[in-house]
Amino acid sequence: MNTPNNTATTTIVYDDKTVRHFMIASIIFGLVGMLVGVIAAFQLNFWQMNGKFLEYITFGYFKSEGVSFLTFGRLRPLHTNAAIFAFVGNMMFAGVYYSTQRLCKCRTASDLLSKIHFWGWQLIIVAAAITLPAGLTRGKEYAELIWPINICIAVIWVVFAINFFWTLAKRREPNLYVAIWFYIATIITVAMLYIVNHLSLPTSLTHSYPIFAGVQDALVQWWYGHNAVAFFLTTPILGIMYYFMPKAAERPVYSYRLSIIHFWALVFIYIWAGPHHLLNTSLPHWLQMLGMYFSLMLWAPSWGGMLNGLLTLRGAWDKLRTDPVIKFFAAGVTFYGMATFEGPLLSIKSVNALSHYTDWTIGHVHAGTLGWNGFMAAGMFYWLAPKLWKNSKGEGGKSVLWSDSWANMHFWIGTVGILLYVASMWAAGIMEGLMLSATNEGGTTLKYPIFSNVTDAKAWLGIFRGIGGVLYLAGFVMLTINIFKTARMGKVVEASAEVPAEAPAGTDDARGFGLIFRNDPITYTFWVIIFVILWIFLPKGMDIGALIIALGISAQAIWVFTRKKDRWAELYDSLEKNWVPFTILVFIAAALGGAVQIIPTVIAQKGEHVEERIQKLYTPLELAGRDLYITEGCYNCHSQMIRMHKGDILRYGDYSRIGESIYNHPFQWGSKRTGPDLAREGGIRSDGWHYAHMVDPRSLSQGSIMPSYPWMLDKKTDFKALPGKIAALRKLGVPYEAMDQHEIEQGAKEQARKIAKGLVDSEVTLPDDMQDMDDEGEIAAALSERQIIAMIAYLQKLGAYDEVKKGDNKEAPAIMDPDKKHGAADE
Amino acid sequence: MFKNIVPDDGAALQALVAFIITFAVFSMIMLRAWHMRREDSDHMSSLPLEDDSETHHTS
């Protein structure tokens, strides 16, 4: 298995220029992403941070109650996208390019593709930074970018994939080290997740509707959202951990065997866990249960990986006192352990009942991103910088960082920042969850019926969160200066190495390609899993048959194994030297869980099959209002999903049914309740209330932190776009009756005029440009064109549904809805 | 309004399914890990340390 020592060698020069570029980009965009995060954090305490502050800092020269592109609803997606795709994305690429070349003992396959990858990715980030504050969004978390940018991302990802796999094909080291496995899993799975969740039907250059709706869209979104965390924020960083931690500690990974278990278990199990983001919602129950159980199972591989990382430092713990790189890595891996302990905990249905929609989740996510991603990035950057920009300032002419003290200070400021952030969010989240569900002794009324009671109660904790964020940002500024100074005091160098002239026999040989199909251990495992899955889906009676077959195959596998132990081990050895079958196997492992959950949902959970209730279709004006709701990012603070909990039902009304959002492209169930749920908002309050509330929320809701939306009084609704949008929705299966362009536009305008007339009659405060108008009809006509009217129309429609009588709808195929065999939907 | 809040479901079945699937995958991978030869494991785990003989020159 080892590389022969007596082969001819050749000298290669590594491409570290690309590594330097990605590293610099990561630092710059990291600063931007964190700064926007700090602003967004304070927006949740001070509504003036949504634009009003400009009035203060310009001493009244700039007057506005709010600025559209600075509101929380638009900045929060900018923050998350910048942190995930710009900061961690660029960091990941730097780590992948550096380590893959060394582990493969060859230069990256194509300098041109590396350049296209780098510059393409940065252009995408810039495009995102322009479009998100402009309100151009798909309205799905971490998947907000508009369709032309989505296509660019797919193309650039393919460029990266080609360059990476081409490099694997050129490698001179036959064995694929575990870091490479994690990179393969990242590339394959992110492509799959991204493409499926971004399938959309465009209605213009900047707007599209996702092809999935309602519960289907919710499932696909959180299959993507959860696994974006898994395969963008976790697996590549684990690969980086497995390469850079041994380098920093100058000793091999603690247990290579454990890393094998860590990898396969993680890749296989992670993908099943997405539904834990939708616990206690109207997602089919079997999916919720699978999501919860697989999340709990994730504890094992995650902690296996964490321990493997930490134990790699065995014998090097003394370096913790002096070496900032080791400090960051040790703390980063510890935060990984904390976050992966907390994640399964929050996935337990009853814990999630308390934590979901609260700041607890925000604290959990930031323990992972700030602690795991941010600290692993810092450790890697501090380790790389003296190697990418060589100096001789250290002991014995060694290349060193500009300042270890600054790096140490960064570590402590950052750690205190994370702890402040996370602890305050834990406290705020738990308090929030308890207060929102608290009832009187009889359990018949809410103890805190006014939502802003909760907002007020956690205000101070929000300040601590903001301070934590500022400290973390300050630490990152120190990193930026330190790396900049290290680069300035050193010189750009190229690294070269003597490597075998060619790969030894057995590397990517033809025999390896067949392994995926002629491999006993894989074949047995695959069929056991398939029959166990059939156990879920087959009707009662037949399901027991599937279980018996699964047990029979297992018994046969054990019998074959006892006879062919060595042969089985050899098969795996060969697989790990052949990247194509290995990659196919990774794809199968990662795709299986999603397929089992998504395919039945897409087939069974359609409007034509729903029972009990079905949503009333939006009129064209209401649809325009819904698109504005998405543009303003209202879903970032308001859910539209009343869970089956007493607190939810007492506060917001009857719990939400699948059918009530079945035609929503995209779904708007939300993930956080900074403000109240809006699923049944329609008809509760008057049009005048909504009008005044959008203009100045505090005039009606004391202590509200919601931004003001004065521009909605000035901007006009795009009536002309409505026919195209309705046509697109019809294509996607929304059962609109046939309407021509004129009917759609006129219908929308008539409804708008009716709402506007009512508002004028109730003497609302008119927009400035209408103050001089005298004729009420003229005022109503002008007001009807403004965005606020469409928004009111939408808000007043929320929760409208028709009863579905038995026999009105077609039965869903029973095999695709395992809940039916247990009677959950029979009530 | 409160009907179906605790639906009858296949909770027990889904727990078993999740466990068996995970157990099957873990078992297969553990077998592979246990049967890995020590010299192979040592070689693989030291791969990141093999590039320490790199030479650097200014570009």
- For residue B4, what is the nearest residue in chain A, using CA coordinates? A827
Q: Is residue A752 over pLDDT 70?
A: yes
Q: Do B14 and A498 make contact, defined as CB atoms within 8 angstroms?
A: no
Give the Å distances, CA to CA, from A234 to A5, A278, A579, A689: 36, 21, 21, 46
CA distance A91 to A382: 12
pLDDT at A191 over 50: yes
Q: What mean pLDDT is predicted for residues A773-798?
A: 95
- Report the residue of B16, B26, B27, B28 to disrupt the A interface, i.e. the one with the largest count of A CBs within 10 Å: B28
| Cβ distance of A497 and B48 shorter than 8 Å | no
CA of B28 vs chain A CAs: smallest distance (Å) = 7
By percentage, how much of chain A surpasses pLDDT 70? Answer: 98
Closest B-chain CA to A547: B17
Task: Give mean pLDDT, residues A398-418.
Answer: 97
Q: What pLDDT, on a 0 to 100 scale, did the predictor assign at position A806?
A: 80
Q: How deeply is A308 buried, as exposed, middle or buried, from its count of CB atoms within 10 A (0-12, 13-18, 19+)?
A: buried
Q: Which residue of B has its CA nearest to A648?
A: B2
Across the range A277-296, mean pLDDT stands at: 94
A109 neighbors A141 (Cβ within 8 angstroms): no
* CA angle, A87 then A12 then A163, to 5°: 45
Which band of pLDDT confidence, cut at 50, 70 and 90, is reported for residue B4? very low
Mean pLDDT of the region A808-817: 77
Token pair of A275 as six digits: 């539904």
Q: What does the pLDDT read at residue A4?
A: 47
A505 pLDDT above the threshold of 90: no
Which residue is associated with the tokens 């050193």? A490
The mean per-residue pLDDT over the stretch A663-673 comes to: 96
Closest CA to A703 of A671, A675, A672, A683: A675
Q: Is the peptide bond before A500 cis (omega within 30 degrees of 0)?
A: no
**pLDDT given at position B2:** 46
Q: Is A540 on the interface with B (CB under 8 A)?
A: no
pLDDT for A816 beyond 80? no
Average pLDDT estimate for A683-708: 95
User: What is the average pLDDT across A46-71?
Assistant: 92
**How many angstroms away from the CA of B14 is the closest CA of chain A?**
6
Q: Kindly list the domain boundaries of chain A, sorted by start residue.
A: 10-175, 510-568, 614-807
Is pLDDT of A771 > 70? yes
Residue A439 phi, psi (nearest 5): -125, 170
Picking from A61-70, A150-159, A232-241, A560-569, which range would have the lowest pLDDT averaged per residue? A560-569
The stretch B3-25 carries a mean pLDDT of: 71
For the cut 80, the answer to whether the pLDDT of residue A204 exceeds it is yes
pLDDT of residue A476: 98
Q: What share of chain A is helix, strand, coil (3-state, %, to 5)?
A: 65, 5, 30
Q: What is the DSSP letter of A671?
A: S
What is the model's pLDDT at position A537? Answer: 87
Is residue A391 scored above 50 in pLDDT? yes
For residue A306 the two structure tokens come to 């964490």
Helix, strand, coil distribution of chain B in percent, nearest 5: 65, 5, 30
Reported confidence tier of residue A678, pLDDT bands at 50, 70, 90: very high
Nearest-CA neighbor of A652 among A661, A641, A636?
A641
Q: A563: pLDDT confidence band, cut at 50, 70 and 90?
A: confident
pLDDT of residue A747: 96
Lowest mean pLDDT of A78-92, A165-179, A508-522, A698-712, name the range.
A508-522
Q: What is the pLDDT of residue B1?
A: 46
- Within 8 A by CB and 6+ apart from A375, the residues are A328, A329, A331, A332, A335, A411, A414
Topology, domain A10-175: Cytochrome C Oxidase; Chain A (1.20.210)
H or E element at residue A493: strand A491-500
Q: Which residues pair with A495 in a beta bridge?
A: B56
Give residue A457's pLDDT: 95
Among the ranges given (A335-344, A355-364, B9-18), the one the predictor scored with the smallest mean pLDDT: B9-18
Question: What 3-state class would DSSP assign to A282?
Answer: coil
Task: Name the band, by pLDDT with cuts 50, 70 and 90, for residue A822.
Answer: low
Distance CA A756, CA A764 (A): 10
Mean pLDDT of A177-204: 97
Q: How confident is the model at residue B10 (pLDDT cuts 50, 70, 90)?
A: low
Instruction: Give pLDDT tens digits for A287-329.
Output: 999 999 999 999 999 999 999 999 999 888 898 888 999 999 9
Residue from A256, A536, A542 whose CB has the most chain B CBs within 10 Å, to mutate: A256
pLDDT value of position A809? 79
Q: What is the DSSP string of A583-616?
A: HHHHHHHHHHHHHHHHHHHHHHSSGGG--SEEEP
Range with top average pLDDT, A7-21, A526-540, A593-607: A7-21
Range B20-39 burial, b when 16+ CB lie within 10 A, else e? bbbebbbbbbebbbebbeee
The two counts, helices (H) then strands (E), for chain B are: 2, 1
Scored b (16 or more CB within 10 A) or e, A523-549 reads ebbbbbbbbbbbbbbbeeeebeebbeb
- What is the fold, at CATH topology level, of the domain defined by A614-807? Cytochrome Bc1 Complex; Chain D, domain 2 (1.10.760)
pLDDT digits (tens, 9 = 90+) for A438-493: 998 888 899 999 999 999 999 999 999 999 999 999 999 999 999 999 999 999 99
SS3 label, residue A140: coil
CA distance A650 to A653: 6
* Residue A582 near chain B (CB below 8 Å): no
DSSP string, A423-480: HHHHHHHHHHHHHHH-B-TTSSSBSS-SHHHHHHHTHHHHHHHHHHHHHHHHHHHHHH
A252 contacts in B (CB within 8 Å)? 42, 45-46, 48-49
Q: What is the mean pLDDT of the segment spanning A76-97?
A: 98
Residue range A390-394: average pLDDT?
93
**pLDDT higher than threshold 60 for residue A28:** yes
Q: What band does A353 get if pLDDT is binned at 50, 70 and 90?
A: very high
The ipTM assigned to this model is 0.84
pLDDT digits (tens, 9 = 90+) for A581-637: 899 999 999 999 999 999 989 888 888 888 889 999 999 999 999 999 999 999 999
> Which residues does chain B have within 8 Å of residue A525's beta carbon, measured at their own beta carbons?
24-25, 28
Q: Using CA atoms, how far apart are residues A371 and A711, in angstroms rounded to an integer?
A: 39
Q: What is the mean pLDDT of residues B28-46?
A: 85
Dihedral over alpha carbons A281, A603, A622, A740 (to 10 degrees) = 180
Chain A hits for B25, CB-CB cut-off 8 Å, are 264-265, 268-269, 525, 529
The predicted structure's pLDDT at residue A508: 81
Average pLDDT, chain A: 93
- pLDDT-derived band at B5 (thresholds 50, 70, 90) equals very low
Q: Where are the alpha helices (DSSP H) in A207-348?
A: 214-231, 235-249, 256-270, 285-297, 299-311, 324-346
* pLDDT of A232 higher than 60: yes
The lowest-confidence range among A6-10, A127-131, A489-493, A612-616 is A6-10
